[in-house]
Amino acid sequence: NAGVMQNPRHLVRRRGQEARLRCSPMKGHSHVYWYRQLPEEGLKFMVYLQKENIIDESGMPKERFSAEFPKEGPSILRIQQVVRGDSAAYFCASQTPETYEQYFGPGTRLTVT
């Protein structure tokens, strides 16, 4: 039973480029959360999605960031025109439908040069 998968594990982008981070939840999970961890800080919630719907995006920066979870395929966190301050570890978690525990992926480490 595969866990939450994220790719790429490491991503390097130059300022102004776009970053696309992918998250495949555990089998049978249709709820996905994205969290960001800045260097030396704790994890902060960004967005909560169900299949084809954004339910809570209260933690998303107002500009340049977007997320989707299509009917088929992984959830995508997209960052347009990246800046150095976007350098962080981005984790996604999927949630069990009955007991609501969240299980995390290994994260994507984004470095903006």
Q: Is the dihedral of CA 43, 47, 49, 52 positive or negative?
A: negative
CB-wise, 4 or 82, nearer to other proteins?
4
Whether the CA torsion 73, 98, 58, 89 is positive or negative: it is negative
Looking at the Cβ atoms of 16 and 61, the one nearer to other proteins is 61
Name, in order, each residue with C-beta under 8 angstroms of 42's C-beta and a sequence gap of 6 or more: none
Q: Smaller CB distance to other proteins: residue 48 or 65?
A: 48
- Cβ at position 112, least distance to other proteins in Å: 18
Residue ranges binding other proteins (CB under 8 A): 4, 31, 33, 35, 42-45, 48, 55-56, 59, 89, 91, 93, 95, 97, 99-107
C-beta atoms surrounding 52 within 10 Å? 11
The least distance separating other proteins from the CB of residue 42, rounded to whole angstroms, comes to 4
> What's the CA gap between 49 and 54, in Å, rounded?
4
In whole angstroms, how close is the CB of 20 to other proteins at the nearest point?
Answer: 19
**Which phi and psi angles does 85 have, rounded to 5°?**
-65, -10
80 vs 96, beta carbon nearer other proteins: 96
